[in-house]
Amino acid sequence: MTNDLLGRHRAVLPDWLALYYEEPLEITHGEGRHVWDAQGNRYLDFFGGILTTMTAHALPEVTKAVSEQAGRIVHSSTLYLNRPMVELAERIAALSGIPDARVFFTTSGTEANDTALLLATAYRRSNTILAMRNSYHGRSFSSVGITGNSGWSPTSLSPLQTLYVHGGVRTRGPFAALGDDDYIAACVDDLKDLLGHTRAPAALIAEPIQGVGGFTAPPDGLYAAFREVLHERGILWIADEVQTGWGRTGEHFWGWQAHGRSGPPDIMTFAKGIGNGMSIGGVVARSEIMNCLDSNSISTFGGTQITMAAGLANLNYLLEHDLQGNSRRVGGLLIERLRAAAAHVPAVREVRGRGLMIGIEITRPGTDEADPQTAAAVLEAAREGGLLIGKGGGHNTSSLRVAPPLSLNVAEAEEGAAILENALRSIQ
């Protein structure tokens, strides 16, 4: 049946719509931190639908909210007052840390970043955007144009002029050998030099931890230092929290808070986990930025009642059960367990991460050269052992991505780490 479905997939869907595994997997249902495939095999899920299943599969509180809302009304568009949308916007505005915040809902992180770019360029009357090398911001025409990871940027055409800044990958590039303070100072000097050669940009967009890039990050404080330079020139800061948001890093609710000495960003985008699998994205911005558009606009499916009901129930569960704290505690254990396992595997260049957002970088032993074939082999071996993980990377790297639902418990973390250890050892 799977081969039949694969043939049908290939006959009607684009060739570039990637599938994991030599024998692609059809997931039929899930519960908690586990999923099952069409053959009845059970897997521990350490990727959560690309970080979208934030709390748990089939979380009763969310499925109940969705079912009850579906029995009332599923959708009406933003042309009508929408109580669940207003209620979720109120919660997100308060949590954002942005003063006098306004919230606009979309259906994806791509659309959220697209909207943030529209707001920033309209507000600043500039189509120049600063972005980080190795970054990923979506698949729309504008977001592809600011993506610094060539593996996810299929065209050089863009409505924007994009300039790329150093700093998103701590252990690679010309400043990698420097200590953290000197690294930040060098990146700030590079930013200042770049700004001296261009017209005033609209904004810097940056992921606090680069997601598709392999869960790479700069030293804490880099974006605060950047913000001081940007603020002097009136340039906006857009924090792309599509993957880092909602407590996933454990130490903070938002990724930007690791760089927070100069205050919150001017604009913040979110998506992925807030709907626990339902399609929710959005933008939070200061009111004068959000309200700067001088023409009409709506969102047909953004903020639809059924997804807002899911988001409210999911956010309530996250906060009431302190899943941020769980991410910090269980994620810390998992990172240390994986580092111990990887210490004896020459192909592992680095285990990095924060909370339940962990990257394992695979290279050819003794070099910094990417080894995508070996990374793919580990992915396959983990699946054979009953564990699903992701992959990514940039800067010529191949990284495994580990991002389980935030309700992961200690026993499941130990089980997943043991499977991954066996998968890593199998490549030697």
Domain count, the chain: 2
403, pLDDT greater than 80: yes
Which token pair is 27?
A: 């997931």
Let me know whether 138 and 181 are in one domain.
Answer: yes
Same domain for 346 and 230, yes or no, is: no
| Residue 134 C-alpha from the chain's centroid | 13
Q: Does 135 share its domain with 249?
A: yes
State mean pLDDT over 27-37.
Answer: 98
Q: Which are the contacts of 390, defined by CB distance < 8 A and separation ≥ 6?
A: 47, 50, 400, 401, 402, 403
Pick the last residue of a domain from 320, 354, 389: 320
Confidence category of residue 395, pLDDT binned at 50, 70, 90 = low
Q: Both 290 and 369 in a single domain?
A: no
Closest CA to 255 of 107, 132, 117, 119: 132
> What confidence score (pLDDT) does residue 359 get?
97
Q: 283, 304, 320: which is the final residue of a domain?
A: 320
Q: What mean pLDDT is reported for the chain?
A: 95
Could you tell me the residue range of the domain that residue 328 belongs to?
2-58+323-425
Using CA atoms, how far residue 63 sits from 58, 66, 245, 270, 316, in Å, is: 6, 5, 22, 22, 13
Q: 256 and 152 in one domain?
A: yes
Q: Given a cut of 90, is residue 92 above it in pLDDT?
A: yes
pLDDT digit string, tens, across residues 125-143: 999 999 999 999 999 989 9
Which of 144 and 323 is assigned the larger pLDDT? 323
User: How far apart are the C-alpha atoms of 220 and 66, rounded to whole Å?
Assistant: 38
Res 396 pLDDT > 80: no
Residues 332 and 315 in one domain: no
pLDDT of residue 1: 61
Question: Of the candidates 303, 320, 337, which is a domain's last residue?
Answer: 320
pLDDT digits (tens, 9 = 90+) for 45-85: 999 999 999 999 999 999 999 999 999 999 999 999 999 99
Long-range contacts: 71-79, Cβ < 8 Å, 24+? Answer: 72/305, 73/305, 74/304, 74/305, 74/306, 75/301, 75/304, 75/305, 75/306, 76/304, 76/305, 77/298, 77/299, 77/300, 77/301, 77/304, 78/298, 78/299, 78/300, 78/302, 78/303, 79/298
pLDDT surpassing 80 at residue 120: yes
Q: Do 349 and 276 fall within a single domain? A: no
Calculate what percentage of the chain has a pLDDT beyond 70: 99
| One-letter identity of residue 262 | S
CATH of the domain at 147: 3.40.640.10
Q: What is the pLDDT of residue 223?
A: 96
Q: With bands split at pLDDT 50, 70 and 90, how would you rate the model's confidence at 154? A: confident
pTM: 0.95
